[in-house]
Chains A and B, each alone.
Chain A
Amino acid sequence: MTDTQTRVTTWHEIVLATLKANDVKLVVYVPDRVFTPLIKAIHADTFFTTFAATREEEALGIIAGAWMGGLRGAALMQTSGFGTIPNALASLVVPCQIPALIFVSERGTLGEFNLGQALVCKTMRPVLNSLAVENITITRLDELAFTVDRSIKQAVATQAPVTFILSPLLTGGKVFEG
């Protein structure tokens, strides 16, 4: 990368740029502290249509409808919110073969201070694996662009959802502040 090109150095800049490169124009989220810089940047970029849903399964329904209408969408949520979406995955997204792009800000591990978060986190990968939904935990900045880019392309080509679990090792996570 030369000095004249924009240097993309943070995880949220990479996610935003990769969504853009793959023409993912709709981003529906349930707010999350760790994802805040990503959400702010997406709001600031007119390429995107973005807004908050009141509940994660609502966000999944919206991006499923958008896909069927010809618009690629992603849903952003945190680990505990993932707990609201297994029914929407199992009875809408998976059987209808909709390439929903799901980004989860991972809590419940690597320094979690809330037992409720820690337990929900333990249910997430078993749920995804039992539905055979592709799920990728990303810990390294240098693998982020490649992983997200290729996995979005695979999701679209194979008409299957994908879940990106963004580890605190990548994002810094949420720290107990006493």
Chain B
Amino acid sequence: MTAKPARAIGAHNAKVMNRFELTKRLVVQLKRDEAVIGGIGNANFDLWASGQRPQNFYMLGSMGLAIPIALGVAIAQPRRHVIALEGEGSLLMQLGCLATVAERAQKNLTIVVWDNGIYQITGGQPTASATVADLVAIARGAGIANSAWAADEANFDQLTASALKGEGPSLIAARIDNKPAVATTDRDPVQIRERFMRGLGVKAGPNS
């Protein structure tokens, strides 16, 4: 990452934004068939709603594995940038993967964490990030130096643009509101996996 914010933005003074709006802002920046892994629940629902790119993978189970899956894709296809969209509850379940990503120094990997401080889809129970846990501090501590809170929408755009240049791994955390996802992903795992592999050029055939 070449451009860094002049000062570190803490979770407490980052603007509360909207996940679907930020997902759309991210997707419009994807010009090179970047792969996107949508974590379980609202992260992949809003990714689905943002337009069903063939390079999107929607995770219907396996809570916590969006980042490991994205790491695997990034290793397999080092010339393609890969983005994991993950909720903070899911990340808290699989924090060790941050150390694995850091140790691999996977340049073509960006992690986006949506943090609304609640396990939204299961009834709104509070996550540790609502009070004590700072996900950016955790990521830096795990070795992902390029980790930052998005201060606002414009800063989110800057951080994602910088991350997509490929000097990763990077982690971008965004505080979000508790609005539900705007749509629900079609739950057909084989079709999701097939479309994704065609979208990545691994399998021949139509992209959609």
Contact = CB atoms under 8 A, between A and B. Distances in A.
B98 to A, nearest CB: 9
A58 interface: yes
Interface residues of A, number: 32
B65 to A, nearest CB: 4
A96 B193 contact: yes
Nearest to A98: B193
Nearest to A95: B189
Contacts of B63: 87
Interface centre among B37, B70, B76, B201 (most CB of A within 10 A): B76
A62 B71 contact: yes
Nearest to A97: B190
Interface string A126-142: 00000000000000000
Given A68-B202, A88-B62, A92-B62, A61 B72 contact: yes
Interface in A40-66: 49, 51-55, 57-66
B136 interface: no
Given A54-B96, A54-B99, A58-B94, A69 B72 contact: yes
A70 B200 CA distance: 9
B69 A64 contact: yes
Interface stretch (B53-61, B112-120, B155-163): B53-61
Nearest to B64: A57
16 contacts: A26-B76, A51-B100, A51-B103, A57-B68, A59-B68, A61-B62, A61-B69, A61-B72, A64-B68, A68-B76, A68-B193, A68-B196, A69-B35, A69-B202, A71-B72, A96-B189
Interface of A: 26, 49, 51-55, 57-71, 73, 87-88, 90-92, 95-98
